[in-house]
Amino acid sequence: YASNGQGGMATSAMQPSPKKPGPPSHASQHHLDHHFPNPFNASTTIEYYLASDSDVEFEIFDMLSRSVRKIRISNQRQGHHQLRFDGRDKFRRALPSGIYLYQMTVGGYVETGKMVLLR
């Protein structure tokens, strides 16, 4: 947390705050919107926006930077989309409780978010 100089507090960039889904301020850019619920137990939904028809890859990492799952989506249309992540690794085993990073890659664009899994 950081003080805003007027007695209020602002959250750090380490804790992304939910925002309304919608195109980013510059609609020519791909963008992660948010995910919900967070923390999650059985599954979480990641919302994102594509500025153009694209192939998309999501990769989930544990806190030791190990890749635990990759999800590839081919030929996805421009616009808003949702991805449901079921909290399982590439072998379909339930992941343990913990903090995980998810990374969206579209062409040369990469954006990362953080989620908490509670079993």
pLDDT tens for 11-62 read 333 333 344 455 445 556 999 998 999 999 999 999 999 999 999 999 999 9
Place of tokens 């020519």: 28
Burial class, 101, CB count within 10 angstroms (exposed 0-12 / middle 13-18 / buried 19+): middle
Measure the CA dihedral 41/43/49/55, to 10°. Answer: 130
What's the pTM value of the predicted model, to 2 decimals? 0.75
Measure the CA dihedral 85/48/37/10, to 10°. Answer: 140
Model pLDDT, residue 34: 87
Residue 9 scores a pLDDT above 90:
no
> Tens digit of pLDDT for each residue in 72-100?
999 999 999 999 999 999 999 999 999 99
Distances (CA, A) of 54 to 13, 50, 59, 101, 117: 28, 7, 16, 22, 29
